[in-house]
Amino acid sequence: MKKVLIGMSGGVDSSVSAILLKEAGYEVIGTTLNLFPNVSCCSYIEVKDICKKLGIAHYILEGKDEFSKYVIDDFINCYSNCKTPNPCIECNKYLKFGLMYERAKELGCDYIATGHYAKTKYSEKYKRWILKKSKATLKDQSYVLWNIPQEMLQHIIFPLSDFESKDEIRKIAKDKNLSVASKPDSEDICFIPDGNYKKFLEQNSNLKPKEGNIVDTNENILGKHNGLYNYTIGQRKGLGISYKEPLFVIGFNKDKNELIVGVESELYKKEIIINQINLLLFDEIKSPVKVKVKTRYSTKEADAEAVQISDNEIKITFDEPQPRITPGQSAVMYIDDIVVGGGKIR
């Protein structure tokens, strides 16, 4: 019997995933990551109750130090350098598919699993294991999984990959009389449950309100800001500027402590460079390849051409200019429903 370690958050997705794995004949072990002092994204008691009901073992995996180093520090560093981070992507790389994978090997597990909506499989065409979108297109989470090491894909199971909607998952939970069947999805950053990331930064870093000029691309002063970390590319609200047409945040000058704004047309970019790249479908991209690219989790894919320009950089040229390209966010490349790879927008 194959053994699998599944990350369990106390939500309906991971709970149903554990059920599906057990019904498929795996020996299932549940684990919950303990990541942040005084803040928990789940109820350990609730998870233990679910595991007891399913008849599977459960362990709490300590990861506070790793979470602080790889997720919290990155979050603060990004905002300190006028970038907008996605902490879930860092957590996936270093905790859920890093620390948890190491724990799985210690426990003699053949696989790890999570409740993500994505799919892994072996491709005869590409002669390697690949990461694909799930069938639940509206819930697909392949975007936040681009930096999983390629060699790990064959050891990952996503039990929800072939379901088409969250309603199907909730029905399974209800049929199994799980208390989490109607539990709402969490959309907050787990370590900022009140959603106030500005307060979190001020309480946990050296970032504090610091007034500076709001300028246009010609360096005309249009107003004042109260700290660059309070703003992100594409932001329109909260600028406090009266102008003949809507203004948006289009950039930052950290050295001068200036917030740069412009009209909507100035939000668009034709080319971007991504670094910290991780390729899953190819070992490298020597010559230009046609791809579709997502530059934020919530944005639509855009047609583009990608080519590697160094060991750790890829240039992406869009067929049509794209808005709100944000340094610090991830750009993820696809061919059809397969993840080619991704990187951080420079």
Classified as helix, coil or strand, 67 is helix
Residues 310, 290: Cα–Cα separation, whole Å? 18
Candidates 41, 78, 91, 109; catalytic one: 91
Over range 101-126, report the average pLDDT.
Answer: 98
Per-residue pLDDT tens digits for 282-325: 999 999 999 999 999 989 999 999 999 999 999 999 999 999 99
Distance CA 12, CA 7 (A): 12
pLDDT attached to residue 137: 86
Beta-carbon count within 10 A of 122 CB: 11
Place of tokens 């294991």: 129
The overall average pLDDT reported for the chain is 95
Mean pLDDT across the stretch 6-11?
92
Q: Can you tell me the distance from the alpha carbon of 307 to that of 287, in angstroms, rounded to the nearest whole number?
A: 6
Return the CATH number of the domain spanning residue range 268-345.
Answer: 2.40.30.10
Question: If you search the block for the tokens 């109260």, which residue do you land on?
Answer: 226
Is the pLDDT score of 40 beyond 60? no
Q: What is the pTM of this model?
A: 0.94
Amino acid, res. 256: K
Q: How confident is the model at residue 39 (pLDDT cuts 50, 70, 90)?
A: very low
Q: Poorest-confidence range of 40-49, 60-69, 194-203?
A: 40-49
Residue-level pLDDT at 179: 86
Tens of pLDDT along 71-97? Answer: 999 999 999 999 999 999 999 999 999
Q: What percent of the chain has pLDDT over 90?
A: 89
Sequence spans of domains, the chain: 3-175, 209-265, 268-345
- Cα 322 to Cα 342: distance, rounded to the nearest angstrom: 17
Catalytic residue among 42, 82, 109, 190: 190
Contact between 291 and 305 (Cβ < 8 Å) = yes
CATH no. for 3-175: 3.40.50.620
Is the separation of the CB atoms in 136 and 165 below 8 Å? yes
pLDDT digits (tens, 9 = 90+) for 136-183: 988 999 999 999 999 999 999 999 999 999 999 999 999 999 989 988
pLDDT, position 37:
66
> Same topology for domains 209-265 and 268-345, yes or no?
no
CATH of domain 209-265: 2.30.30.280
Helix then strand then coil, % of the chain, to nearest 5: 25, 30, 40
pLDDT on residue 36: 78
Residue 187's pLDDT is: 73
* Active-site annotation holds for 41: no
